[in-house]
Amino acid sequence: MKARIAPSILSADFARLSDEIGTLVAGGADMIHLDIMDGRFVPNITFGEKMIDTVRKLTSLPLDVHMMVEEPERYFESFAGAGASGMTIHVEAAPHLQRQLARIRELGCKAGTALNPGTSLATVREVTTDIDLLLVMTVNPGFGGQEFIPASTDKVARARQLLDDTHSGAALEVDGGIARDTIASVWRAGADTFVAGHAIFGSDDPAAEIKALRDICLETV
């Protein structure tokens, strides 16, 4: 199983975005993670279609778009048109989850679903074969730089078991507080894709930090 690192540009210096993206590419990032927040589903507002379009012009890496928004279906067409490679919607904001996932795939994007820390894995059991990615939040979403919730490790292990039991090929992503001191536990629990923002952009050498995070996984058995 390969460890994939998805730097979140929420922690990037937007005044130097082109350079920041270039550093991530040179550092071997597997994808770029974009946190879309609407100030309704979470208590913060970030960016939207224009940022996806801007980042797409700066890199050919997959754009992993995490939609922390109410009524996510309102944005599917515009985000796909702007260059999103995949869109991940929260089960808490998607009462017609299977239909919404199918629509994302119809638009040529990978479809993912995300779970807040307090949301049961049972809510996604019926759609595990309809998703390309399952995102387990390891902090409560809304702000970068939060501390990893220790109980998340057990949830990640149960998520891996669920995907295996239902013969799903979905990637298992974790997001929140991922750094050198936390990544090994969730890798060992079965996660394969890791969103990291503050840990990467807050380091003196973001490219080296990407490598360090991946190496920790490869060295952990």
Active site residues: 35, 175
Residues pairing with 137 in the sheet: 175
How far is residue 202 CA from its own chain's centroid?
A: 18
Label residue 136 left, alpha or beta by phi (over 0 means left) and psi (-120 to 50 means alpha).
beta
Q: What is the Cα–Cα distance from 112 to 110, expressed in whole angstroms?
A: 7
State residue 165 phi and psi, 5-degree precision.
-65, -30
CA distance 4 to 75: 26
Report the Cα 200 to chain-centroid distance in Å: 15
**E-assigned strand segments in 4-73:** 4-7, 32-37, 63-68
CB 62 within 8 A of CB 30: yes
Distances, alpha carbon 89 to alpha carbons 9, 95, 201, 203, in Å:
18, 11, 25, 29
